[in-house]
Structure 1
Amino acid sequence: MTIRRAVPDIHTKSPTESSAFYTLLGFEEVMNLGWVTTMASPSNPTAQITLITEEQTAPVVPDISVEVEDVDAVHAAVRASGAEIVRDLRDEPWGVRRFFVRDPNGKIINVVSHQQGSPD
Structure 2
Amino acid sequence: MNHSLTLRRSDMRLRDHYPIVVTAQKEESRDFWQRYLGFRTVFDSSWFTLMAHDGASIAFMTPDHPSAPPGSKTFTGRGVCFELEVDDVDKAHAELTGKGASVTYPLSDEPFGQRRFGFADPCGLWIDVVEQIEPEAGYWERYMQ
Instruction: Decide which structure has the larger Cα Rg and report it.
Output: 2
- TM-score computed with the length of structure 2 as normaliser: 0.36
Higher strand share: 1
- Structure with more contact order per residue of length (Cα contacts < 8 Å, sep ≥ 6): 1
TM-score (norm 1): 0.43
